[in-house]
Amino acid sequence: MGTREGWQLPATEALRVGPDTDVDGLDTTATPGFVGGKSVGERLLEERGAVLSDLQEKLFANARARDEQRSVLLVLQGMDTAGKGGVVRHVIGHVDPQGVDHASFGVPTPEEKRHHYLWRIRKALPRKGQLGVFDRSHYEDVLVVRVHDLVPRSEWEARYDEINAFEHELVESGTTLVKVAMFVSPDEQKARLAERLERRDKHWKYNPGDITEREFWPQYKEAYQAMLDRTSTPHAPWHVVPADRKWYSRLAVTELLIGALQRLDLDWPAANFDVEAEKRRLAGS
Amino acid sequence: MGTREGWQLPATEALRVGPDTDVDGLDTTATPGFVGGKSVGERLLEERGAVLSDLQEKLFANARARDEQRSVLLVLQGMDTAGKGGVVRHVIGHVDPQGVDHASFGVPTPEEKRHHYLWRIRKALPRKGQLGVFDRSHYEDVLVVRVHDLVPRSEWEARYDEINAFEHELVESGTTLVKVAMFVSPDEQKARLAERLERRDKHWKYNPGDITEREFWPQYKEAYQAMLDRTSTPHAPWHVVPADRKWYSRLAVTELLIGALQRLDLDWPAANFDVEAEKRRLAGS
């Protein structure tokens, strides 16, 4: 590894949505902020995964020992095969399972459909001290719902503001949101779907509906653009992660989470007992 | 590693509770069924962790693709510092977080106290296809509750049969139970508590009440013996894991889980679509 390899810019700066973010013109093979290839990236992922794990433990410790209310919630959005599941396994997999609250959101169940679209989301929010992970989220309700007009336009139009208000409430109550939109190219998606069809151990991940959705790629791009434009707020910004290179997207999400946890500026909680007195009690026990 | 090192007997056989299981006479430094030291054990843990992860993915895949109702639930019991948390991190940590349903059970909350003791347990049962983990469990209600007579004797006495009936119901509905009781010696516990007092990053794990509980060691041994004698059933047997050597207890639990998953005899679910037709559709998309 040469001295010039690695992050040239913090991931959070390199990936944060700005006024110029353009889903249509995005290079999904790029590695924003990072100079270096796959082998450097994969080695770094292991090192930084351990850092992430330590930071999460501090968050957990503060909730346990001092009733700190803070939590971190990773929101993952992306088309099929964008690599959301791989992020869960290879990034979140570094963290103690005890400290992770994972939820995934598919097609709403009949019960979920009877409720407001945020009902199932609120039920799955991370507990204090936890690293929450949403594999898909309330943003489905302005993505697939918008693309297929599953509710009237006036209804999904109102959701952008509603989501911003909801997330503001979350942030106010101590949850740091890390919102990540992962983008693959249509060709890369095709290759990943082909792999699922080739391998017997991947058939279960394949859904014929995935091909149908490919026809709506332009509409999805539009919906993603609107989502980024309208729900990337100062309190809960979006990050755009090019995802054709799995090693990069995993490393990038790791860095985004590390950045969020570091900004909480956590220390190990001080003992709420007399350490020396307890040592004497223990010795005599 | 010599050819004689490794498991001489399947962990499930070496550790399963039998009529002769004697908590009082247990050698907590032993490594039943296993010949070899720490370095062999730690290397094996990594290898077998990957096997565990693959098996869990098959369980998950069958639930997703074929609506299979099966799940596996690891029930961990043990005195403070026995290493339950370490098993979660270092054994369950090998499995995709998406496939894990983790729950820990501390002192019941006021709401939990208003309900039957199995209420909070039922709410936390693993979903189909998941590997559930209970860090403590309904067995607290015949352990700490018995030792301190938190309910009248007639009440906790009735729970053994009740728990057996409850677990039978779970097994009948597709959940394989892997029940593990971890045992450390009083001296090893003392050393581990001392470490928590020595290290600033471990203070949050220390609770002055832990020392108080040490005075009840004989009563806890009695309660554990009764638990093993009365709730180790053919459908949900207990395993006794000596836990003074962390590398051994982690490896042993890994093997117990692998054994349970292998006995489910899972294969990758067959495609519920025409693979060749889908390849053609994909190529044309």
Secondary structure class of B280 (helix, strand, coil): helix
- The pLDDT assigned to B2 comes to 46
Nearest chain A Cα distance for residue B88, angstroms: 7
Q: Under an 8 Å CB criterion, which residues of A touch B?
A: 61-62, 64-65, 85, 88-89, 92-93, 95-98, 100, 102, 104, 133, 135, 190, 193-194, 197, 200-201, 203-206, 208, 211, 214-215, 268-271, 273, 275, 278-279, 281-282, 285
Distance between CA atoms of residues A284 and B214, nearest Å: 11
Nearest chain B Cα distance for residue A197, angstroms: 6
DSSP conformational letter for A30:
-
Per-residue pLDDT for chain B (285 aa), expressed as one digit of tens each?
Answer: 445 789 999 999 999 999 999 999 999 999 999 999 999 999 999 999 999 999 999 999 999 998 889 999 999 999 999 999 999 999 999 999 999 999 999 999 999 999 999 999 999 999 999 999 999 999 999 999 999 999 999 999 999 999 999 999 999 999 999 999 999 999 999 999 999 999 999 999 999 999 999 999 999 999 999 999 999 999 999 999 999 999 999 999 999 999 999 999 999 999 999 999 999 999 999
Q: Indicate the residue of A65, A197, A200 with minimum beta-carbon distance to B279.
A: A197
Question: Using one digit for the tens of pLDDT, what is the confidence trace for A61-73?
Answer: 999 998 889 999 9
* CA distances (Å), origin B3, targets A231, B6, B8, B35, B37: 61, 8, 11, 10, 14
What was the ipTM of the complex prediction? 0.94
- The pLDDT assigned to A5 comes to 82
Q: For residue A78, what are its two tokens?
A: 């992306």
- Please write down the HEC assignment for all residues of A179-200: EEEEECCHHHHHHHHHHHHHCH
* CA distances (Å), origin A55, targets A131, A257, B218: 10, 9, 39
Nearest chain B Cα distance for residue A282, angstroms: 6
Q: Under an 8 Å CB criterion, which residues of B touch A?
A: 61-62, 64-65, 85, 88-89, 92-93, 95-98, 100, 102, 104, 133, 135, 190, 193-194, 197, 200-201, 203-206, 208, 211, 214-215, 268-271, 273, 275, 278-279, 281-282, 285
- The pLDDT assigned to B248 comes to 98
Q: Which carries the bigger pLDDT value, residue B95 or residue A2?
A: B95
Read off the pLDDT band of A2 (50, 70, 90): very low
- The pLDDT assigned to B3 comes to 54
- The pLDDT assigned to B67 comes to 86
Distance between CA atoms of residues B87 and B134, nearest Å: 11
Q: For residue B141, what are its two tokens?
A: 């209600």
**Which single residue is written with the structure tokens 């991370």?**
A126
- The pLDDT assigned to B229 comes to 98
Interface contact B194-A92, CB threshold 8 A: no
How many CB pairs (< 8 A) connect A and B? Answer: 114
Distance between CA atoms of residues A234 and A232, nearest Å: 7
Query: For residue B173, how many other CB atoms are within 10 A of its CB?
Result: 12
**Which positions in chain B touch A97 (Cβ < 8 Å)?**
88-89, 92-93, 95, 97, 100, 102, 133
- Please write down the HEC assignment for all residues of B110-172: HHHHHCCCCHHHHHCCCCCCCEEEEECCHHHHHCHHHHCCCCCHHHHHHHHHHHHHHHHHHHH
Report which secondary-structure segment, H or E, holds B43: helix B38-66
Q: Report the C-alpha dihedral over residues A21, A22, A28, A31, rounded to 10 degrees.
A: -20
Secondary structure class of A25 (helix, strand, coil): coil
Q: Which carries the bigger pLDDT value, residue A143 or residue A5?
A: A143
Phi and psi based region of residue B51 (left: phi greater than 0; alpha: psi -120 to 50; beta: remaining): alpha
Query: What's at B258, amino acid-wise?
Result: I
- The pLDDT assigned to A3 comes to 55
